[in-house]
A and B are shown apart, each in its own frame.
Chain A
């Protein structure tokens, strides 16, 4: 098990504007690794020990920890990619994230706490596009090995009933 990063260096020593710029670049990098690939590099944007969770607002507000997807380490995230690519049966489709700007809530010892709104569309092999979810990322970003990474990423969707399956990490 990889060691947890000691005392995370907060980006630019609490410089708010620089933090926003770095986090927004990270978010863009993140969604394009999913939407355009390669998905195999998606886990690299997380710290070795991390929390990645996709969950409903219903669970989030009830304080229930359940996730549609839950990863607690970079290894678990790589396993998710492997399963998506090799051990799951689903009709082909493309995913497209539409991001808002990022709101930094606070910067503290744990890292940069921030929120980014996102709409995620899915297009089937037949070419039909549907809105899979309206959601928000609640993230904690830290500097790890000189680059910003997600220590925690919670995709919380407002959409009560997912209109389709979630075939890959989002």
Chain B
């Protein structure tokens, strides 16, 4: 292998010995640590994944209920506005004025009434990004102003492509992204529409947290059932997740989207927890109202975690429903934005149930606190590891097929399949 490969955006010298230079591109059971370490790879991810032919989650329709409502959000490191431009249509616009690049909206959310106006020189845009106002375009008393060849339509905000499915809005920087249905595939669309079934959503609230690890580690964690029955003593103790439950691991057509599903099974079918050192059968809740879930869909699923490439997680754990948006913040950090929701037709008891069960999730969650901590342990370890180090992910084999169990790391392998396909091979596998 060429040890001085400097092709692509990376322009970095690879000093690794040939035999551990990088995993074979076809072997997704071996992941080079440098995909979590290297700023050049991160820069390429922004271009080729986040600003490339992917669909990026941008928010829920219920978060912008009125025409003119907008919210700021991020795609990669670029700031955008989700706008309800009409009763049933949305636009996604760069939050950057076409004049001099000033940020147009500063608040987290608002209503634009009739138009967006940049505060700096009051250039004004309609809800689709069309430039509709330029102060002093024709000068003052015939003096100054824009040149006669100034064409406002050259300065529209470059609206992103938008796709909406049952109240969830996605956007793409790519001029010709794949159809959302094809991007998801049939299995992933079925899981997606299990939760987003077309009913109107009720926003329950948001959490935002910075977690100091690479964005991919966060995504991988939600594709990793191996840890769930081991790290999360709370889940194990209360039987909320067990590797010996009836379960499935679905992997989408391109590998990078997946769903982990646990189903209700009779207690006498439980085996296998003997190997879990932290299992604590004596631990009970003083106030059990925290954990009184009801089955609310027409199936026997108790836990469904879906991940859609590149960076959105849909959580349906008992009655706590949320999207988790993973926003990259440099190679070693990301922001995690949780949007908890229910349905407009939730009765009062269901609303309370969702609020109580939210104790399991978020920055102080009985479950997810462990995740955020473990993910930071991962990044610290990776950062300290020698550059030739490689992670091994062979639980359940080396492929990324769907399975009728969860004793597998296949969804992580599938993620790296789509990831490597999306990235130029000369960046990931220099050599």
List chain A positions with a Cβ less than 8 A from chain B: 54-56, 58-59, 62, 64-70, 72-73, 75-76, 78-80, 82-83, 86-91, 160-167
**Is B366 a contact partner of A68 (Cβ separation < 8 A)?**
no
Residues in A with CB closer than 8 Å to B108 are 58, 160
**Is B203 a contact partner of A54 (Cβ separation < 8 A)?**
no
Interface flags, B282-296, vs A, CB<8A=1, else 0: 010111011000000
Known contacts A86-B283, A87-B233; can you find 18 more A-B pairs with CB under 8 A?
A: A58-B206, A65-B204, A66-B206, A68-B363, A70-B356, A72-B356, A78-B287, A82-B283, A87-B366, A89-B231, A89-B374, A91-B377, A162-B363, A164-B210, A165-B209, A165-B363, A166-B364, A167-B364
Across the interface, B287 reaches (CB within 8 A) one of A56, A68, A76, A91, namely A76
Within 8 A of A (CB), among B335-381: 335, 340, 351, 355-356, 358-359, 362-364, 366, 369-370, 372-374, 376-377
Interface flags, B186-207, vs A, CB<8A=1, else 0: 0000000000000000011111
Residues in A with CB closer than 8 Å to B205 are 55, 59, 62, 64-67
Docked complex Cα distance between A138 and B285 (Å): 27
CB distance from B377 to the nearest CB of A (A): 7
**Is B287 a contact partner of A87 (Cβ separation < 8 A)?**
no
Across the interface, B355 reaches (CB within 8 A) one of A67, A90, A161, A165, namely A67
* A86-B280 contact in complex given A59-B206, A68-B207, C-beta closer than 8 Å: yes
Docked complex Cα distance between A65 and B374 (Å): 28
**Is A165 a contact partner of B287 (Cβ separation < 8 A)?**
no
Residues in B with CB closer than 8 Å to A87 are 233-234, 237, 280, 283, 366
**Is B231 a contact partner of A64 (Cβ separation < 8 A)?**
no
Docked complex Cα distance between A70 and B287 (Å): 13
- B121 at interface (Cβ–Cβ under 8 A)? no
**Is A56 a contact partner of B207 (Cβ separation < 8 A)?**
yes
* A161-B208 contact in complex given A68-B363, A70-B356, C-beta closer than 8 Å: yes
Residue of A nearest to B238 (CB): A87
Residue of A nearest to B204 (CB): A66
**Is B373 a contact partner of A90 (Cβ separation < 8 A)?**
yes
Residue of A nearest to B351 (CB): A65
9 A-B interface contacts by CB (under 8 A): A65-B205, A65-B355, A70-B356, A87-B280, A88-B234, A91-B377, A164-B210, A165-B363, A165-B369
**Is A89 a contact partner of B286 (Cβ separation < 8 A)?**
no
Residues in A with CB closer than 8 Å to B340 are 66
List chain B positions with a Cβ less than 8 A from chain A: 108, 203-211, 231, 233-234, 237, 280, 283, 285-287, 289-290, 335, 340, 351, 355-356, 358-359, 362-364, 366, 369-370, 372-374, 376-377
Docked complex Cα distance between A138 and B206 (Å): 19
Residue of A nearest to B356 (CB): A70
Residues in B with CB closer than 8 Å to A69 are 359, 364
* A90-B369 contact in complex given A70-B359, A83-B234, A161-B208, C-beta closer than 8 Å: yes
Which among A82, A89, A90 has the highest number of chain B CB atoms within 10 Å? A89
Across the interface, A68 reaches (CB within 8 A) one of B335, B351, B362, B370, namely B362
**Is A89 a contact partner of B233 (Cβ separation < 8 A)?**
yes
Residues in A with CB closer than 8 Å to B351 are 65
Docked complex Cα distance between A19 and B204 (Å): 35
CB distance from B429 to the nearest CB of A (A): 34
CB distance from A91 to the nearest CB of B (A): 6
Residue of A nearest to B108 (CB): A58
Docked complex Cα distance between A40 and B338 (Å): 30
CB distance from B262 to the nearest CB of A (A): 19
Residues in A with CB closer than 8 Å to B210 are 161-164
Residues in B with CB closer than 8 Å to A73 are 287, 289
Docked complex Cα distance between A116 and B33 (Å): 46
Across the interface, B203 reaches (CB within 8 A) one of A64, A88, A160, namely A64
Docked complex Cα distance between A90 and B374 (Å): 8
**Is A54 a contact partner of B207 (Cβ separation < 8 A)?**
no
CB distance from B273 to the nearest CB of A (A): 15
Residue of A nearest to B212 (CB): A164
Residues in B with CB closer than 8 Å to A165 are 209, 211, 363-364, 369, 372-373
Residue of B nearest to A167 (CB): B369
* A88-B370 contact in complex given A64-B205, A69-B364, C-beta closer than 8 Å: yes
* A76-B373 contact in complex given A68-B362, A68-B364, A87-B234, C-beta closer than 8 Å: no
Residues in B with CB closer than 8 Å to A163 are 210
CB distance from A94 to the nearest CB of B (A): 16
**Is A79 a contact partner of B358 (Cβ separation < 8 A)?**
no
